[in-house]
Structure 1
């Protein structure tokens, strides 16, 4: 009399019929392939901000989502290597654009970027750990998209101004600058960087750091999903608390 073979056990349970395994295995293989494809096309990382050169849009301690190998667009905030440092900067010019700075005002392709004054912006100084205020304005591209820019400290004895001769962005380069113009290092104020120095494009602000003073207002609590690229939306000088 032949003995009936008992089904083998797998992971503590009875063996499944071969047909029942095909569909889950096929889905698993497709999921793995899709994940590998996405990882190959878009490499995503998370960074923690240190410093205030991009205040008030990005502050010390903020956590950002970065997409590597993404193509930067005008108004994007990007992660770049400058002078051996990894820093955040905003893209103000693409190859072929002509940019100049005259007394702090930026001209792009012969047109002055529109400036709208705002009330002073307050945030925590990452070095002194005390609140400070700086003068602020909205800076807009010709298509209406804009971002908040900081100038002098409130109560400063003299206005902060900067003049840089016009330069045309060559192929394979970008023109970038700090949002906090007062804190921008002297060696970066010419604005040009090689495209190869780009480490990624900031996709979203994920979490507010310790640099914010005011209540969130209309912005999402904790900063979850806040865009940092130039936009056509309304602007507020509130600096949300984490």
Structure 2
């Protein structure tokens, strides 16, 4: 190599080497932190999906069969549970649809609805403050009817439009069809 070529090549100063080294270390730390953050977010998302699927399904209300209690567009969190009681709101799976209804009769209960829409269970008139307009509605079931073992009798709160256990098409719902019970409402907030 000639002298002229050697003179044109200059070595970086120690400050430049130190700065380049620090930038390289910063990039490596940033990349590790970014990958770590993405990994944590992926795990959180997977856990959320698993919890949502197995324990706390989230659904959106579609229709008006539960008005005034629930409205079209409300978002609810359900709790999967094998224990339930009368007047609890539940989501049932019926012909690939999700229906929101209220548990009225438990296995062995005798349910009756008169022509004015008054509901009695085991001879006791139910107090239903959640129903704004009592009516017999669309009904082709003969009353009184006894709820078979392993099933529940469900009604919608908006009795004139709800298709529920009063219809022989749905009838008493098998407990295995219950997706979950309404735990709380997510949207609208404070609803």
Shift of 1:170: 1.5
Shift of 1:83: 3.7
CA RMSD of aligned residues (A): 3.0
Residue 206 of structure 1 is matched in structure 2 by 186
CA distance in 2, matches of 1:54, 1:207: 15
Gaps of 5+ in 1: 1-10, 13-31, 115-138, 140-146, 153-159, 209-221, 227-242
TM-score of the superposition, structure 2-length normalised? 0.63
Greater CA radius of gyration, 1 or 2?
2
Residue 59 of structure 1 is matched in structure 2 by 71
Aligned residues: 142
Contact 2:113 2:136 in 1 (8 A): no
* 3-state secondary structure, aligned to 1:149: coil
CA distance in 1, matches of 2:64, 2:123: 30
Residue 150 of structure 1 is matched in structure 2 by 132
Residue 87 of structure 2 is matched in structure 1 by 75
Shift of 1:207: 1.2
- The answer as to 2:118 corresponding to 1:170 is no
Contact 2:103 2:153 in 1 (8 A): yes
Residue 55 of structure 2 is matched in structure 1 by 43
Gaps of 5+ in 2: 1-27, 30-43
Shift of 1:183: 0.8
Higher-helix-fraction structure: 2
CA distance in 1, matches of 2:186, 2:145: 35
Contact 2:153 2:165 in 1 (8 A): no
Contact 1:72 1:78 in 2 (8 A): no
CA distance in 1, matches of 2:153, 2:81: 18
CA distance in 2, matches of 1:85, 1:151: 25
CA distance in 2, matches of 1:39, 1:85: 21
| Gap change, CA 1:68 and 1:54, over 3 Å in 2 | same
Between 47-56 and 68-77, report the one with greater CA deviation: 68-77
Deviations 1:78-112 (A, max 9, x none): 11022442110000111111101111110110112
Between 89-98 and 63-72, report the one with greater CA deviation: 63-72
